[in-house]
Structure 1
């Protein structure tokens, strides 16, 4: 193998390793947020509708945030709510349907997102509540693990409908049974906007309070 091939292989391996660390949340160096984080409901060339409908309720885009490290960009997240808010406590207590949408920007094993989700719930919930959530976290994890590999352009939605629960949807296809409980969806949101988010800059973007 010549020196050019060796260098190319090494770069490929480095990029894959960085991508896995971004998804799993194992690197704590977030990408600096660009000026005007949310402009025309678009971030890093990922476009989001200003409004959408979940369970017959029109939701508005609250903000967008990038999850990435250095040159590796994992996904852009968009948070949809019935009423815009910049306060995480208010959002976590807010009644009505919600949607957390992730637009994937790299190819990576879905199990890395599962690891990040599990770790995020554990970091943001006290031990007794974490124990109560564990079976439901396992259901969500099974749905994500079943994806196998994320590809650029994939759209993963985590929807909440009052009286029903949380639904995992990939590219419009339902991946899991409905997971009951307001407390469960709050636990998922805390991964993104809680006191110990997976990425502080992504949290700031999601809490912008409007799509403009």
Structure 2
């Protein structure tokens, strides 16, 4: 009986996320969980977006439902969030808009037209200057769309699961902006 209880306790412990402690990535404290929509989202992982050997931002992924792969997260009914913490002055408003445009094109397979109006609304998030230490959080709400925050302030809600999946596809899709970052955000 004692062996069964011990085995059950071990099995339960293995189901808990291995990354339950807060972490620091490139000087950015990434919490073990965040709260949004009245729900606690658990951190999957975090990593650095680099381009041409320059470290641009820390990207982190949170979800209501732990243990899913990228495809499952993109199609999940669970709330999830991608958070970007800007760590380089090389990220400007114009560069952020350009990067999101490129990511949307890749994530949509070049079919941006049906999403254009909503994408333009989303890109208005970056009309104000983007500075080091700015934090952007995109909350994926299945059946609704995406809430977008800058430094904790809700700026917009973009409706539609198609927009939600495409936006999150920038980081988690088959052609992510950065394969190493995708892997890190998934905690792999």
The answer to whether TM tops 0.5 is: yes
Change in 2 beyond 3 A, CA 1:113/1:39: farther
- Structure 2 residue runs without a partner (length 5+): 1-18
Work out whether 1:164 is the aligned partner of 2:147.
no
Q: Distance in 2 between matches of 1:81 and 1:163?
A: 16
Aligned-partner Cα distance in 1 for 2:44–2:171: 13
Per-residue deviation, 1:103: 0.8
Instruction: Say which of 55, 78, 96 aligns to 1:113.
Output: 96
Higher strand share: 2
Matching residue of 1:193: 172
Q: How does 1:84-95 map to 2 (within 5 A)?
A: 84-85=66-67, 87-95=69-77
Q: Does 1:184 align with 2:163?
A: yes
Q: Structure 1-normalised TM-score? A: 0.72
User: 1 CA distance for matches of 2:68 and 2:185?
Assistant: 8
Quote the Cα distance in structure 2 between the aligned partners of 1:93 and 1:64: 20
Query: CA–CA distance in 1 between the matches of 2:108 and 2:143?
Result: 22
Question: For the structure 1 residues 126 and 151, does the alpha-carbon distance in structure 2 shift closer, same or farther, using more than 3 Å as the test?
Answer: closer
Q: SS in structure 2 opposite 1:175?
A: strand
**Range that drifts further, 106-115 or 188-197:** 106-115
Q: In the aligned structure 2, how far is the partner of 1:163 from the partner of 1:93?
A: 11
In angstroms, what is the RMSD of aligned CA positions?
2.1
- Using CA pairs under 8 Å that are at least 6 residues apart, name the structure with larger relative contact order, 1 or 2: 1
Q: Does the Cα contact within 8 Å between 1:60 and 1:84 map onto a contact in 2?
A: yes
- The CA deviation at 1:39 is 7.4
Deviations 1:62-99 (A, max 9, x none): 11020123552111011110112351111111113221
TM-score by length of 2: 0.81
Task: Pick from 107, 114, 120 the counterpart of residue 132 of structure 1.
Answer: 114
Structure 1, unaligned stretches of length 5 or more? 1-36
What is the distance in 1 between the residues matched to 2:67 and 2:120? Answer: 30
Deviation at residue 182 of structure 1 after TM alignment? 1.4
Given that residues 65 and 77 in structure 1 are in contact (C-alpha distance below 8 angstroms), is that contact kept between their aligned partners in structure 2? yes
